[in-house]
Amino acid sequence: MGRHNFLSIRDFSPEEISYLLDLAREMKGHPWAHTRALRGKTLAMIFEKPSLRTRVSFDVGIQQLGGFSLYLSNAEISLGKRECVYDIAKNLERMVQAIMIRTYAHEIVEEMAEYASVPVINGLTDFSHPCQAMADYLTMLELKGNVKGLKVAFIGDGNNVCHSLMFTGAQLGAHIWVATPAGYEPKAEAVQWAVERGQKTGSTCTLTPDAVEAASDADIIYTDVWTSMGCEQEAEARHKVFAPYQVNSQLFRRAKFDALFMHCLPAHRGEEVTNEVIDSAHSVVYQQAENRLHAQKAILLELMQYREVLEPARIADVESHS
């Protein structure tokens, strides 16, 4: 694939995204085939935002590939406060072979990738969540056989998960519908990119304020929490605005008879989704969660397997001083 970092689904071609998904499926089916692939290599994991699935899936994933992980909380790092991003990148590149970062501003991930000579993986930003989207579409491939032509309805807040769901759907030829209250739509630049890429792949991206319209005849119903991390002060107001966008049995019946329910988790049961939907036979939320492990193992393998501990420029620097 030849890419150095994994920052956004937008950075790749449709063929590259398909390749990574195929690799993830192969690795899931043959878990013992790559157990020494990253032997002796270390992944630094920077967490400004806490996480269950991101922490466990990257930690377990790198170990299953023969490598090691190093957890760095905000207390150790304090990005941009205790130490600038440049200095953190330059320190870590001399001690680890890749960096995964879960943070707030997308610009921080981009800065880390600009300054570090080792691969950088976006574990989540306020703008996008590409690893989650890879797990989502891996799940769709497993259960639907193909992504192209599927109607994928995202109902709720047009947030980072929504953006990456749109980007990946546009890459793979899905028809994305996003139903949000007025003022909570996905960012215009994200919509524009999805529409433009869709013109090349046969994908479409449709925004509507009508949850019923989005859900009607959908193959996938997807939702996320109404109040993302960092927006807790808006929770009460958001609950009132988003109440008509709850995914309940009445709304879910608008979808196809074999539709899947998806959620990136954690879920606020009784808010964006009811128990009767998330616990139903249509729900695949735990398969999605498991697939974080397999999708990220494919990303780790692709980025780290063939990279030396010292980049060519640093090797030349070392030799010049020997």
Pick the catalytic residue from 264, 288, 294, 296.
Answer: 264
Pick the catalytic residue from 129, 175, 238, 294.
Answer: 129
How many Cβ atoms from other residues are within 10 Å of residue 200's Cβ? 12
Pick the catalytic residue from 224, 246, 263, 294.
Answer: 224
CB-CB contact of 302 with 295 (8 Å):
no
Environment class of residue 232 by beta-carbon count within 10 Å: exposed (0-12), middle (13-18) or buried (19+)? exposed
Strand order across the 151-155 sheet: 204-208, 175-179, 151-155, 220-223, 260-263
Distance CA 255, CA 206 (A): 16
Pick the catalytic residue from 175, 197, 292, 294.
Answer: 292
Examine the residue annotation and report whether 132 is marked as an active-site residue of this protein. Answer: yes
CB-CB contact of 259 with 221 (8 Å):
yes
- The residue type at 164: S
Distance CA 162, CA 129 (A): 9
Examine the residue annotation and report whether 129 is marked as an active-site residue of this protein. Answer: yes
Pick the catalytic residue from 102, 163, 197, 294.
Answer: 102
Examine the residue annotation and report whether 224 is marked as an active-site residue of this protein. Answer: yes
Examine the residue annotation and report whether 82 is marked as an active-site residue of this protein. Answer: no
Pick the catalytic residue from 64, 97, 132, 296.
Answer: 132
Task: State the sign of the Cα–Cα–Cα–Cα dihedral 16, 20, 26, 29.
Answer: negative
Catalytic residues: 102, 129, 132, 224, 264, 292
